Amino acid sequence: MNCRLGACSLLLLIATHATAAPVCHFDAQVRGDQRIGKWINHSNWLSGEHLRLALTAGSTFMPSLRLTPGKPTPLRSAGRKLDVDKIKVSDPLDGSARNLGFLLDSRLQADGLVVLQNGRLLAERYRNGLRADDQRLLLQANRPILNLLGAISVSQGKLSADRSLTRYLPTMSNQGGLRRLSVQRLLDSNDATNWSNEELASWREAAGWIKGGTDIDVRAWLAMPGRWDFPMENRKLSALPASPDDDLLAWLLAESNKMPLSQLFCEQLLSRIDPEHPVQWMTDERGIELAGGLALSLRDFSRLGQLLLDARSSRTRSRVPGWFIETLTASSGIRSPQLPGLARGSERRYGFVHLGGDPNRVALIGAHGSSLYIDFDRRLVIALYASHPAVESPTQLATLEQFWNALARSATPRR
């Protein structure tokens, strides 16, 4: 090659960067035939009895976007395997001596478990038909991830925490209730609109979660006159159910960053974790990403926890703001209200849960026991997909707490 050394070096640098640059390209996918077998259809696929089958089959019932990793990166082994099933534990329901295998199968109805220590695979377990490469819908567990994207947007100047939502969503300027709602209050996730059952059913139809006769898309539903005239209520002690508030946040993120939500998620988070398996995002009929529509393999779900863990020790390389991690891990006040089932001092922050007891522990708790536990001191991540019959309950949370504590003690002593 006949060129000067400096020019050649520059060309090589550009070529190398182009090759290594993360590709955030999602392909639109048409929905499948909207049936699983003889009895599961678009009207009942998300009922409790069908969760194990349905949560890995979102694209059968809904349009979706799909990203296939160019160079899948398998998790590296920790060099030793932790036999989770044999770890001794006290059953929080009746006080009996059990092992973790019993708690996982009988109490949490766990379908999959991945444990990382220092970013390496320490334990992995699958049951009830779940496979390592299955992409499973996160549903409510995606709301804290959207809140994290909101915090990143604030840190990057795309959003101002104290501004009204209508500043970024001019289409909603006629909604009096939203003019009084700040970005910060929406991201805090301590308050929620008190939607009626009829309104929730109508929203699910517009989004495409259930079959219905509506012809409007989810954003048209959100923008209907008078839709946000109801005041928000404090729900800090209870899990927030999936609701139109989530899709309002999804719309806010897309508009303020001037890109589709899936693209924003990929550029800020997904491209940083080197996903091993394809990623899917369910959409409405217009191709708009739904707030609860992200579907990840369990291994890639665990990598999001590792991303948060690493953000605290290497902030210069992370998009996650340092103040966000410090907010999640900061000790609770003496008079903090208790979350039934969890240790005293546990409280919800940005949709995550700051855990009481041992310091520097955080959990993302989704519906039916699916969760992501992060222990910053032990550098431990525990990702769980479960099908517990309750969306959330004190006994479910108490079992998760006992499970996390026993597994953490067995994985490594606290530093």
CATH dotted code for 141-295? 3.40.710.10
DSSP letter for each residue of 282-313? EE-TT-PEEEEEEEE-HHHHHHHHHHHHHHHH
For domain 84-136+297-411, which CATH number applies: 1.10.8.60, 3.10.450.50, 3.40.710.10, 3.40.640.10? 3.40.710.10
Residue ranges of domains in the chain: 84-136+297-411, 141-295
The predicted model scores a pTM of: 0.92
Which of 140, 147, 293, 289 lies closest to 218, judged by CA? 289
CA 129, 132, 133, 137 dihedral sign is positive
Which of 67, 16, 413 lies closest to 274, judged by CA? 67
Encoded tokens for 16: 């190398």
Per-residue pLDDT tens listing for the chain (415 residues): 455 544 444 444 444 333 334 589 999 999 999 999 999 999 999 999 999 999 999 999 999 999 999 888 899 999 889 999 999 999 999 999 999 999 999 999 999 999 999 999 999 999 999 999 999 999 999 999 999 999 999 999 999 999 999 999 999 999 988 988 999 999 999 888 989 999 999 999 999 999 876 788 999 999 999 999 887 888 766 666 899 999 999 999 999 999 999 999 999 999 999 999 999 999 999 999 999 999 999 999 999 999 999 998 876 567 999 999 999 999 987 667 789 999 999 999 999 999 999 999 999 999 999 999 999 999 999 999 999 999 999 999 999 999 999 999 999 865 5
